[in-house]
Structures are given as C-alpha cells and as structure tokens.
Copies of this chain bind each other. A is one copy, B any other.
Amino acid sequence: MARESKGVLYVVATPIGNLEDMTLRAIKILKLVQLVAAEDTRRTGILLRHFDIATPILSVHEHNEHARVERIVGRLAKGESVALVTDAGTPGISDPGAALVAAIRSAGFTVEPIPGASAVAAAISASGITSHGFTFLGFPPIRGKDRKQWFADATRAAADRLVVFFEAPHKLQKTLAELDNYVKRPIIIARELTKIHEEFATGTPDELGKRFESPHGEFTIMIPPEGPNDKVVEAASDQDVLALFGQITELGGSETKREVAREVGERLGMTAKQVYEIVERNKLVE
C-alpha cells in the first residue's frame, strides 16, 4: 500500500492590523491545511472568516503547548498538514509557537515559513534609520531588578546599532521616563502600525513622554545607534522650516529668497530646494 507523504507544519505570518496585509500564499495555505493552530482562536477566526477560510482552528498557547505537540505530530504523521499562526504578525521567538516549532522539527517533520507582516520589519523600514543591523528586545520586563538590567543592556546595544522593542500603552509613560535616564538623543516611536491612526513620532524619551500623555494602541520603539542618525531623527517639520525662514527674512538682510533657503537648509540638514518647496507648498494654503 502506498504510504501517504508526511505532513508539513507551515508557520504563517498574519496581518498586524490591516487585514489586507495578508499574502496570497498565506490565504492558499490556510485553506489547504487540515488544521490551523492559533494563539488566539477568536482573533484568528475573524481573519479566516474575512477570507472565507473554513479550516478548523485549534487553540495553542503557553499553557497547553506541550500537550498540543503530540496532537499536531499525530496529524502530521497521518499526512495532514497544519498551519501555525499567532495573534498578529510573524510567529517568532517571543511567542509560545517557538517551542512547538522546535518540537515538530525534533520529531522529524518539515517546517516551512510563509512570510508576511512583521511589526519589527515594518517599523524599521519606514523609520529611515541607518544602522549596521539591529537588536530586537521584545517587551521590557516588569520586575524592578530585571528591568534595570534590561535598560542598561538596551542602552549598551544601542551604542552599536539600532535597538527595537515593544511597549504596551499603559506602561509607555513609565518606560519612556526610565529610558530618559539612559538615552538623551532623539528616538522614533511607531504607534498603531498599519492601522488608521498609525503615526511615527520623533523626539527624546522625555519629549515623547509629553507627547503621548494618554497613549492608545501598540507602540514600537526604536533607539537609533549613536552618531550617524542624529540628523535623521531630528528631522525638521514644515513648521521648523517656516519658522526659521520667517525669522531670517524678518531680520531684513539683503538676502534673496534662494539665499535664505540655502541658509535654512544648512541649519536643518536639508537642500535649499527642499526648503524652498516647503515654503512654496505652505503658501498655497494661506
């Protein structure tokens, strides 16, 4: 009798906010498999319904992970395939999925990644930060001693390269206040990535603490490495440009507009043309 081929465990990335951030292959695979192992069955249920996927969902979380391994191994051994998804994004080292993947690999089955949305990669890609690599640190720990150690560690890592970490809204104020003891240069915060209220904000930890006084949503915090990014993250806003332009013009020298634009550009790390365009653009709405 012909033996069925062994099943595959697909590790499938899912959207982090916008349901359209789903890949064509992820949709196919979630339809194809016999079982979807999910961290949050409610949330995964919404996703599957959105794409008309009727595959049964099995709950897999920190507390039942070990028991689930045998069940999933059993399905794979029968030649069925299984998809593993988490709450949102790419299942990773911070998720309960890692131990499950390791166990399935140990049992000799093929594990195949289906790439897709990742909050870390998305935040970095739109940050404009230049760095030789980066360090991702998950969430800061809650306990006092671990926490101190963690901040010192993060600061040390950020001397060499970009450091990225997550924070929950209700802990953001405390974390920024603590970070202010270690980092005095501007950092970048991405809030609500891929959602309607997505925003990127730049400033020192202290400045951002004031900006996000009653924070909502999920936060991805990026500490650029020391040195090369100082200009990048101190990005001048239209307001900065217009204020400086107005100030120099009002001093009433003999400079032409072009000369003022060059001077503003030099001070703010932009080209004269960029300054000029901001000035022109903002005239239109006056």
Residue A117 is within 8 A (CB to CB) of chain B in the complex = yes
> Per-residue 0/1 for A82-105: is the Cβ within 8 Å of any B Cβ (1 yes, 0 no)?
000000001111100111111111
Is the CB–CB distance between B115 and A128 below 8 Å? no
Instruction: Give the chain B neighbours of A18 by CB distance below 8 A.
Output: 25
Is the CB–CB distance between A128 and B105 below 8 Å? yes
Is the CB–CB distance between A115 and B274 below 8 Å? no
A170 to nearest B CB, angstroms? 22
A3 to nearest B CB, angstroms? 5
Which residues, 124 to 183 on A, are CB-close (under 8 Å) to B?
A: 124-138, 153, 157, 160-162, 165
Is the CB–CB distance between B131 and A93 below 8 Å? yes
Residue A278 is within 8 A (CB to CB) of chain B in the complex = yes
Instruction: Give the chain B neighbours of A91 by CB distance below 8 A.
Output: 125
Query: How far apart sit A126 and B189, CA to CA, in the bound complex (Å)?
Result: 28
Instruction: Give the chain B neighbours of A268 by CB distance below 8 A.
Output: 106
Instruction: Give the chain B neighbours of A271 by CB distance below 8 A.
Output: 69-70
> Given contacts A77-B281, A134-B135, A273-B70, is CB(A128)–CB(B99) below 8 Å?
yes
Residue A28 is within 8 A (CB to CB) of chain B in the complex = yes
Pick from B116, B161, B278: contact of A21, CB under 8 Å: B116
Residue A123 is within 8 A (CB to CB) of chain B in the complex = yes
Residue A238 is within 8 A (CB to CB) of chain B in the complex = yes
Residue A111 is within 8 A (CB to CB) of chain B in the complex = yes
Is the CB–CB distance between A270 and B107 below 8 Å? yes
Residue A62 is within 8 A (CB to CB) of chain B in the complex = no
A220 to nearest B CB, angstroms? 10
Stretch at the interface among A30-38, A40-48, A193-201: A193-201
16 new A-B pairs (CB below 8 Å) besides A106-B232, A134-B135?
A: A20-B23, A23-B24, A23-B116, A90-B118, A90-B125, A97-B125, A102-B128, A103-B128, A106-B231, A107-B270, A111-B126, A113-B194, A114-B122, A115-B119, A115-B194, A121-B121
